[in-house]
Amino acid sequence: MPWNNSGPTNSGPGNDGAGPNGRPENPWGSGPRNSGGGNNGGGPRGPWGPQGPRPGGQPPDLDELIAKAQAFLRGALPPGGFGGMGGAWGGGRGLIVIALVLGAVWLGSGFYRVQPDQQGVVLRFGAYNRTTFPGLNYAMPWPVESVLRPAVTRINRVDVGYQATGSDLRPIRGRDIGVRDVGEESLMLTGDENIIDIECAVFWRIRDAEAFLFNTRNPAYTVKSAAESVMREVIGRTPIQPALTDARAAIELAVRKGVQAIMDQYGSGVEITQLQLQKVDPPAAVIDSFRDVQRANTDADRARNEAESYHNDIVPRARGDAARLVAEAEGAKEAGIVEAKGQAQRFESVLKAYAAAKDVTMQRLYIETMQEIMSNTPSIVVDDKLRGVVPYLPLGEATGKPGVSK
């Protein structure tokens, strides 16, 4: 067979490797090759020419390799094209070989790699067939199957109420010169019929690759529209003052849950990971007047707090004084009643004793009365033989006790 000659080839000088019928010998045949002077390199020879390193260690010339490959393919085809096939190429064997080679290349092109942050969605004739995961996978080559590889772990961002005119890298809670306000998105009506300028950023990722690719036409635009709609609904139920101060966290949570519910209802395969309010302010045209009103409200609140503080101080004190006076009056009343009852009982007991022993009781009453009088009255004793002015020394007044003067 001319493609597997066991004898030596190219034994004569100047033989360029042509076999019988002008066809090239099998480049991978079993016999030694280029043993004559036609091989200028003297070394092993492959289908693209002499093998081994080139002089000076230079890599082979790409144009030279392409030219040799074309010459080899031209030599491998039968003379006169496939219409004049004969010998080893007779009976359509050459077509079969080429078809097998092309089929192998076509089947080999079905291997593809899914990156760690991706999922592979295989489409068979344009319809969803299966989902593949990171690693090396295989699908029937085009046009039977095709593969889409969306990034499912990447966090995407959608801005509502503003647009980055330059770089989209900006502080999460700040503003920069590369941001342009979009008034038709950011101006909203609050629950107390005030206008507020609010901007937010929505962060989302792909949760279901199949639903993400086939259930919505433009998932990013859908997320933005849903976020704006839910934000208007939540702000429409919230007064302006809480929205500007302490209700920001509650607004973020409510809007995120509302957007997620809408995306789940659409079957979009999108997960809302976070929503951040970037700016919550009155409209720029009235912000100065609004700040004046806020300062006036702050002054009113301060005056109100001072009045409340004074009220909380004076009213309990007055109530305490009133309660004390009432308690003292009640005490005096009870004391008077008890004293009167005691005196009445004492009089009745004395009356009973007087009825039993009049003389003894009368004398006792006299003595007790005189004792009480004399104990509270200073005494002055005067000698009846003394004539003239009597010196008076009030010892009782000096000592604070009733005394006796002589």
Q: What is the mean pLDDT of the chain?
A: 74
326 pLDDT above the threshold of 90:
yes
pLDDT of 389 reads 57
Q: Residue 333 and residue 335: Cα distance in Å, rounded?
A: 5
pLDDT of 319 reads 92
CATH 3.30.479.30 in the chain: give the residue spans. 162-282
pLDDT of 332 reads 92
Whose tokens are 């076509």? That residue is: 106
SS3 6: coil
pLDDT of 88 reads 47
Peptide bond into 141 cis (omega under 30): no
Report for 32-41, 192-201, 386-395: range of highest mean pLDDT: 192-201
pLDDT of 330 reads 92
Mean pLDDT of 326-353: 90
Q: Residue 30 and residue 393: Cα distance in Å, rounded?
A: 164
Q: Tell me if 150 sits within 8 A of 119, measured CB to CB.
A: yes
Torsion-angle region of 164 (φ positive above 0: left; ψ -120 to 50: alpha; else: beta): beta
Q: Tell me if 45 sits within 8 A of 25, measured CB to CB.
A: no
Choice between 396 and 34, residue whose per-residue pLDDT is larger: 396
Choice between 298 and 40, residue whose per-residue pLDDT is larger: 298
21 pLDDT above the threshold of 60:
no
For 105-132, the pLDDT digits (tens) are 888 777 888 888 887 888 888 888 888 8
pLDDT of 231 reads 92
pLDDT of 365 reads 84
234 pLDDT above the threshold of 50:
yes
pLDDT of 340 reads 92
402 pLDDT above the threshold of 70:
no
For 164-197, the pLDDT digits (tens) are 765 444 444 344 456 677 778 888 888 888 888 8
pLDDT of 37 reads 39
Q: How many residues does the chain have?
A: 406
Q: Which of 226, 235, 280, 236 is nearest to 256 (CA)?
A: 226
Q: Tell me if 17 sits within 8 A of 75, measured CB to CB.
A: no
Confidence of residue 19 (pLDDT cuts 50, 70, 90): very low
171 burial (CB, 10 Å; 0-12 / 13-18 / 19+) is exposed
Return the structure tokens found at 295.
Answer: 């300062």
6 burial (CB, 10 Å; 0-12 / 13-18 / 19+) is exposed
Give the CATH architecture of domain 162-282: 2-Layer Sandwich (3.30)
pLDDT of 72 reads 65
DSSP string over 161-208:
SEEESS-S---TT---TTEEE-HHHHEEE-TTS-EEEEEEEEEEEES-
